[in-house]
Structure 1
């Protein structure tokens, strides 16, 4: 979950996600509830699944899904996408920017899944000015969130307040979208299903929080992989780093990790450009604090 501060006051970003998992997941959010006008929704363009069914590998279930995923073997993917600039004060311009980033992510992750020889279809997306109701996950984004992924409908929602309709918001909004898309990647690799099942049987709150941190920090790393793939069209890397200073409430730290840890995993994905760099499930607890 990400929380955006007022314009031109440095963003304090929280990456949160209520963990969803197939087949009946709870929603996964990204921060900052805002008031706004009627929603403006943008669905994903249709895309063919990749690769062909005869070429597919079996995606592991349970713990192997997070430590032995075929996706980890996918090579670095690059993308050249047409990403328009954001015009100050223009919601249509912002919607076009978000749609272009999302479409580029469709290409990037379809390519990665194809290389890994596992099935994939892109998520649906809705860019809204106020919270709206998802038929399975309820009001979206989740309260206090700028973005939320609902695995039950494979849809992510991004809430864009009026004051963020500015070019400076490109870094924030592209990271929010890339993070939420990371949860969709986890959905198709059964990682979300594993986290939810393991959290359900965790005997301590601390154990469930650790699972949540591994999930959220992996989505951060996947976001870094995606931003790296389209970096020629994205803001400078330093602007992404600048999103991660400030303070977090203790509850966010417990289940999402410190801002410094979030940045570490985002940068790990960015520097590597490979999904295999994002195995947050095999590392010691100290690496996901």
Structure 2
């Protein structure tokens, strides 16, 4: 069984689909000044992600299904049963915290708030792709056989860094239309290089250095084959 699960994560057909096509979508023009606006931003963004990933997932031989979007506030209960900035749950739901986005836009750098939104929703969508192509299930099975917390955390980092890499793949393919250029690109690069688990309670998402490296790797390549974290060395997913 484990050998079969290893093939799913390490030799998945998604790695052979080639370069992702551009969605020709611009960054959603709506700004996160209200819950309704945040919902509209993510709805438009996911529609563009669907446009590109649907034919790619089907080309790899899998059935595509669009994720459900759950936009919540700090005062409401998310369908994924978390109160984080963003989350994906196995039922196919992407949960995004509107309070987090609105506060960031109001109190801090507005461009940072936008690049964070763009990265996070594409990252959670990356988890959705993992679910559709069997990687999520295979990784969960692999984890159940692992011994020790360190081994489980390593597996978690492979999953999380792959999701961020896939977010980079989408933006890289669509860079000319979004566009990912100028000050937006510079702030995005800053954003992805300042998201790491070294400031958290456990090493389950990857360091800021690893996160930046894998996200940029996906962006530069524009193809899912660049995101095979399951054959990468332990050091590269630290």
TM-score > 0.5 by shorter chain: yes
* Pick aligned residue for 1:84 from 28, 33, 45: 28
Structure 2 CA distance for aligned equivalents of residues 109 and 264 of structure 1:
22
- What residue in structure 2 maps to residue 272 of structure 1? 221
Distance, in Å, in 1 between the alignment partners of 2:18 and 2:131 is 20
Distance 2:162 2:138 in 1: 13
* TM-aligned CA distance change 1:86 to 1:133, over 3 Å: closer
Bigger helix share:
2
d(CA) in 2 for partners of 1:262, 1:194: 22
SS of match in other structure, 1:284: coil
Task: Determine the C-alpha separation between the residues in 2 that align with 1:91 and 1:158.
Answer: 10
1:217-256 equivalences in 2 (<5 Å):
217-231=161-175, 232-235=177-180, 236-243=184-191, 244-245=193-194, 248-249=198-199, 251-252=201-202, 254-256=203-205
- What RMSD over aligned residues (CA atoms) do the two structures have, in Å? 2.1
Say whether residues 1:62 and 2:5 are aligned partners: yes
| SS of aligned partner of 2:71 | strand
* Residue 103 of structure 2 corresponds to residue 155 of structure 1: no
The CA deviation at 1:177 is 0.3
Matched, 1:184 2:134: no
Question: What TM-score does the superposition give when structure 1 sets the normalisation length?
Answer: 0.71
Q: What are the ranges of 5 or more consecutive residues in structure 1 without an aligned counterpart?
A: 1-59
Q: CA deviation at 1:89?
A: 2.8
Say how many residue pairs are matched: 222
The TM-score, its normalising length taken from structure 2, stands at: 0.85
Are residues 1:117 and 2:61 paired? yes
How many angstroms does 1:63 deviate by?
1.1
Q: Secondary structure at the match of 1:132?
A: coil
Question: Is the CA contact 1:172–1:240 (under 8 Å) kept in the aligned structure 2?
Answer: yes
Distance 2:211 2:53 in 1: 21
User: Conserved in 1, the CA contact under 8 Å of 2:72 and 2:78?
Assistant: no
Task: Name 1:211's counterpart in structure 2.
Answer: 155
Aligned partner of 2:208 in structure 1 is: 259
